[in-house]
Amino acid sequence: MMGFDGVFVEEERGHAGGIWCLWDTNIWKVDVMDHCSQVIHMKVSTGNHNPWILSAVYGSPQRINQKGLSGNIHLFRRSNNLPCYLVGDFNAFLLDSERGGILSAVAGNLMSLGLTACFSSKML
């Protein structure tokens, strides 16, 4: 697929979501450790380098489901001690200027607090 022979897909739900992870198995060793509709957690290594965690995110645009995402990330981080990189689209706004309205600012702050709690004790 597009020149990559390593593939893991978390299918979309209706018209939202979907995460595709593609890699070259001649370069990368990737083990999918956990996944759900909003995140795929993978242990990644190459050559003689130490492994690390890559978490690929496509956060739900529905605020009620975003709490589940930060909870999933928090539980996963507590279960391992490898360096972790978190990438993707969280569909969350951290600054008031990014989106209008008081409710979006509150939701962004809650997501920020949840992610800070996930990584505060195990930062890279």
Domain boundaries, position 82: 6-119
Q: What is the pLDDT of residues 50-81, one digit of tens each?
A: 999 999 999 887 777 777 888 898 899 898 89
CATH number at residue 68: 3.60.10.10
Q: Which residues contact 86 (CB under 8 A, 6 or more apart)?
A: 55, 57, 73, 115, 119
Domain count, the chain: 1
Residue 45 resides in a domain? yes
Q: What is the pLDDT of residues 86-102, one digit of tens each?
A: 999 888 766 656 655 54
Rounded Cα distance, 78 and 70, in Å: 12
